[in-house]
């Protein structure tokens, strides 16, 4: 049993916090939104009304926040984590933020005597609630070893990706691949349909042939072949277009910083930006299927 502070009890953090409680940890929870704190309390966490009270006795401080600026604010503001925590507490940021932001947060924390890990997740809200997330962790090996048990209470797969920022690097490269492969899958199903193949027939063949990929077999953007996919419920309740766009922009920034060429990543970002501008930002990102169907050669 560990003393854990949890900051950021939104769509993802609420389920993660509940799973830590259910694993027997003592969890003190904080969010700017008091309803989110009340819900965490109902799930068995101890409510905190400031970051200072949240982190006071913590051995592990987990953050699950919207973006890098929130993480830096929560860590380094005068009323924030580093000003109020014990220096032997291990900082674990599970938010999706830029590789450079994760590296600078860890090195600033280190200069103040703290150890920090970046530990972004793959899996979405359903996996956060079920405790089946995949964690990609960047930081020192001994800190990773110390955090593993805590992360396993929230996830099924926990990977050490290397030094600080490498967790975010794995996440950003993975999600760029996902964003591209979803568009490619939508284009393939649309082409097959135009050539006279229905979605079931094309799925049965391509899912056993060399075009097979996760976007097809677990999340098919064409309605029908994969009953659990958001395409069968009007592209509601999945991984939002806005989230995919955020991740693709992080990948573009990381590519610019590192000199990597990501032409398809750039095109994918433009495509999701168009969906976002069309008011589809809260739809599942596989809604790109509709966009592909509606486009004409002149577009």
The catalytic residues are 171
Phi/psi region, residue 8 (left: phi>0; alpha: psi -120 to 50; beta: rest), is left
Closer Cβ to ligand NAD, 37 or 192, answer by number: 37
Among 42, 49, 73, 156, binds ligand NAD (CB under 6 A): 73
Residues 215-274 that bind ligand NAD (CB under 6 A): 239, 243, 246
Residue 176 · residue 268 · CB < 8 Å: yes
- Sort residue 192 into left (φ over 0), alpha (ψ -120 to 50) or beta: alpha
Secondary structure class of 83 (helix, strand, coil): helix
Closest residue to ligand NAD, Cβ-based?
10
| Site stretch for ligand NAD (CB under 6 A), options 29-37, 159-167, 188-196, 278-286 | 29-37
Single out the residue of 23, 26, 70, 108 in contact with ligand NAD (rule: CB under 6 A): 70
Residue 11 as a binder of ligand NAD (CB under 6 A): the answer is yes
Shortest distance (Å) from residue 65 CB to ligand NAD: 5
The DSSP H or E segment spanning 138 is strand 133-138
> Pick from 3, 8, 109, 137: which binds ligand NAD (CB under 6 A)?
8
Binding residue count for ligand NAD, defined by CB under 6 A: 26
Check the CA dihedral 234-18-93-76 and report its sign.
positive
Provide, for the chain, the percentages of residues in helix, strand and coil under a 3-state DSSP scheme, each rounded to the nearest 5: 55, 15, 30
For the CB of residue 216, give the shortest distance to ligand NAD in the complex, in Å: 20
State yes or no: residue 31 binds ligand NAD (CB under 6 A). yes
Beta bridge partners of 136: 159
Q: Which of 100, 116, 250 is nearest to 171 (CA)?
A: 250
CA 90 – CA 71 distance, rounded (Å): 15
Which of 56, 100, 125, 273 binds ligand NAD (CB under 6 A)? It is 125
| Residues forming beta bridges with residue 60, ordered by sequence position | 4, 90
Distance between start and end Cα atoms, the chain:
58
**Closer residue to ligand NAD (CB): 85 or 192:** 85
The minimum distance between CB 103 and ligand NAD, in angstroms, equals 16
Q: Give 158 or 192: the residue with its C-beta nearer to ligand NAD.
A: 158
The residues binding ligand NAD (CB under 6 A) are 7-13, 30-33, 36, 64-66, 70, 73-74, 95-96, 121, 124-125, 239, 243, 246
């Amino acid at each position: 049993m560990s003393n854990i502070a949890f900051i950021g009890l939104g769509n993802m953090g609420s389920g993660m916090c509940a799973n830590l409680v259910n694993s027997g940890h003592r969890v003190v929870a904080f969010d700017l939104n008091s309803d989110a704190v009340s819900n965490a309390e109902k799930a068995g966490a101890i409510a905190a009304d400031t970051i200072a009270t949240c982190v006071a006795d913590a051995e592990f401080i987990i953050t699950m926040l919207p973006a890098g600026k929130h993480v830096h604010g929560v860590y380094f503001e005068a009323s924030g984590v580093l000003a109020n925590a014990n220096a032997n507490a291990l900082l674990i940021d599970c938010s999706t933020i830029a590789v450079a932001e994760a590296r600078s947060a860890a090195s600033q924390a280190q200069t103040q005597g703290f150890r920090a890990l970046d530990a972004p997740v793959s899996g979405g809200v359903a996996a956060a609630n079920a405790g089946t997330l995949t964690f990609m962790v960047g930081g020192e090996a001994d800190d990773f070893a110390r955090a593993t048990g805590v992360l396993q209470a929230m996830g099924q797969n926990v990977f050490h990706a290397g030094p600080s920022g490498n967790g975010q690097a794995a996440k950003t490269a993975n999600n760029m691949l996902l964003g591209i492969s979803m568009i490619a899958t939508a284009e393939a199903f649309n082409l097959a349909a135009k050539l006279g193949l229905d979605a079931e027939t094309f799925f049965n063949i391509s899912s056993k042939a060399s075009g097979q990929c996760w976007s097809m077999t677990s999340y098919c953007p064409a309605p029908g072949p994969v009953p659990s996919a958001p395409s069968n419920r009007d592209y509601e309740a999945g991984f939002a277009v806005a989230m995919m766009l955020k991740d693709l922009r992080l990948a573009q920034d990381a590519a610019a910083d590192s000199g990597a060429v990501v032409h398809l990543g750039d095109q994918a970002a433009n495509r999701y930006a168009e969906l976002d501008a069309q008011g589809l930002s809260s739809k599942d990102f596989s809604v790109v299927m509709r966009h592909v169907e509606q486009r004409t050669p002149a577009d």
